[in-house]
């Protein structure tokens, strides 16, 4: 299991890991993702949909909501201190998203074993409307976060 500094709580370790990940994550930065909160097994992130994220039907490309959910999943799953990689994800789109919509994704651990863990992610608009649901399975590598 990963080490943590002598006086670092699990919550502090989770935040440190996610801050380090975000600092190196050019794609999440390009999307404009803001990390709102993290704790072991959970992450909450937010972004605003921009006009260049729309498809030919003037709604957000499905990859935008999925990318936000995938970033939330990555952050939540790495809070345990072990480097994780997504094995599989499924997405269900519930309602269209438009330019200017502020999306929030909350990823939560459903179950975790020694090497595999399952997460659910719900993406909502600012008015609380659920726009996407993602379920992701991650592989916990043998590598730990510094």
Digit-coded pLDDT (tens) for 14-65: 999 999 999 999 999 999 999 999 999 999 999 999 999 999 999 999 999 9
Mean pLDDT of 120-133: 98
Fold for the domain defined by 10-144: Thiol Ester Dehydrase; Chain A (3.10.129)
Q: Answer yes or no: are the C-beta atoms of 80 and 132 closer than 8 Å.
A: no
How many angstroms separate the CA atoms of 41 and 80, rounded?
A: 7
How many angstroms separate the CA atoms of 59 and 78, rounded?
A: 31
Instruction: Retrieve residue 119's tokens.
Output: 């997460």
Domains of the chain by residue range: 10-144
Average pLDDT in the chain = 95
pLDDT at position 5 over 60:
no
How many angstroms separate the CA atoms of 68 and 114, rounded?
A: 26
Main-chain dihedrals φ then ψ at residue 7, nearest 5 degrees = -115, 20
């Amino acid at each position: 299991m990963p080490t943590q500094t002598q006086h670092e709580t699990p919550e502090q370790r989770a935040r440190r890991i996610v801050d380090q990940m975000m600092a190196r994550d050019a794609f999440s930065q390009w999307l404009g993702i803001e990390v709102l909160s993290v704790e072991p097994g959970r992450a909450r992130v937010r972004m605003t949909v921009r006009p260049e994220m729309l498809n030919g039907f003037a709604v957000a490309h499905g990859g935008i909501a999925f990318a936000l959910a995938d970033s939330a999943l990555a952050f939540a799953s790495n809070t345990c201190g072990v480097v994780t990689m997504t094995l599989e994800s499924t997405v269900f789109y519930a309602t269209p998203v438009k330019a200017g919509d502020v999306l929030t994704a909350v990823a939560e651990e459903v179950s975790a074993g020694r090497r595999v863990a399952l997460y659910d992610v719900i993406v909502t608009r600012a008015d609380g409307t659920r726009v996407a649901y993602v379920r992701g399975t991650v592989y916990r590598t043998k590598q730990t976060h510094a």
